[in-house]
Homo-oligomer: A and B are copies of this chain.
């Protein structure tokens, strides 16, 4: 007879018996007959259908999509949607990859890594997409080495300003004014002179006190700078 038992079909088609059970359970591939004792028997049609199912699964369609297509739905549409979703995923994953590699190369300890990631997350929360693109372009333009330089320059500069403030130096004192000018220059270099971006940066520091404590200037410090530059 040309009816196959489940194990034979499994071997011939390369899927597991359990998978066939599953397809039966969800109604995707139901055996044409059963023996009186309940053993599944698959006929020619089912064998052909299984081939199709396997093929479609290799193309990564979901079982539901496969069922839909085999029911005669518009295959072109299903495929188009599938491709669209795939493309989206690819784009996202590529972005992720790029970031992760950049990340892994720029930080070494776990803490530094987390720092960097958190900062990236925050940036995405506070900047619009075009702004982020602009910042990326800006970084590209500045180059890695200058970026690193600026990153180490920033805390030193802040420390020196803080000292002047603590010492009570007049904000109009030339030494302070010089520091303040460096300060502005650094910010301009980062923002590319874009006022909107600077505003977003300000919002970030205003709302995320945790970040401000580590990297940013508190209110007293930024007032001091503002007076120096006025």
Please list the residues of chain A having a beta carbon within 8 angstroms of any beta carbon in chain B.
48, 51-52, 54-56, 58-60, 69, 72-73, 75-76, 79-80, 82-83, 86-87, 89-90, 93-94, 96-97, 99-101, 103-104, 108-110, 113-114, 117-118, 120-121, 124, 210
Contact of A97 among B48, B76, B90 (CB under 8 A): B90
Query: In the complex where A59-B100, A96-B59, A103-B79 touch, is A54 in contact with B121 (Cβ < 8 A)?
Result: yes
- Residues in B whose Cβ lies below 8 Å from that of A48: 210
Cα–Cα distance between A193 and B186 once the two chains are bound (Å): 66
Tell whether, in the assembled complex, residue B97 and residue A59 are in contact, meaning their CB atoms are under 8 Å apart: no
A110:B69 contact, CB within 8 angstroms: yes
Q: Are B99 and A79 in contact (CB under 8 A)?
A: no
Residue pair B86, A104 in contact (C-beta under 8 Å): no
Which of the residues B60, B69, B83, B96 comes within 8 Å of A101, measured between beta carbons?
B83
Residues on the B chain within 8 Å of A94, using CB: 90
Copies per complex? 2
Residues in chain B near residue A124, CB distance under 8 A:
58
CA distance A104 to B78 in the complex (A): 10
Q: Is the CB of B96 within 8 A of A55?
A: no
List the 3 closest pairs (A to B, CB-CB), nearest first.
Answer: A55-B117, A55-B121, A75-B110
Give complex CA distance A83, B99 in Å. 10
User: Taking the nearest CB of chain B, how far is it from the CB of A117, in angstroms?
Assistant: 4
Partner among B52, B80, B97, B210 whose Cβ is within 8 Å of the Cβ of A104: B80
Can you report 30 residue pairs joining A to B where beta carbons are below 8 Å apart? A48-B210, A51-B118, A51-B121, A51-B210, A52-B118, A55-B118, A55-B120, A56-B117, A58-B117, A58-B124, A59-B96, A59-B99, A59-B100, A69-B110, A75-B109, A75-B110, A79-B100, A79-B103, A79-B113, A80-B104, A82-B100, A83-B97, A83-B104, A86-B93, A86-B96, A86-B97, A90-B90, A90-B93, A90-B97, A93-B93
Q: In the complex, A99 Cα to B79 Cα: how many Å?
A: 11
Name the residue among A59, A69, A72, A89 with the largest chain B CB count within 10 angstroms: A59
Task: Kindly report which residue of chain B lies nearest to residue A125, judged by CB atoms.
Answer: B14
Contacts A56-B117, A72-B110, A121-B58 hold; do A93 and B89 have CB atoms under 8 A apart? yes
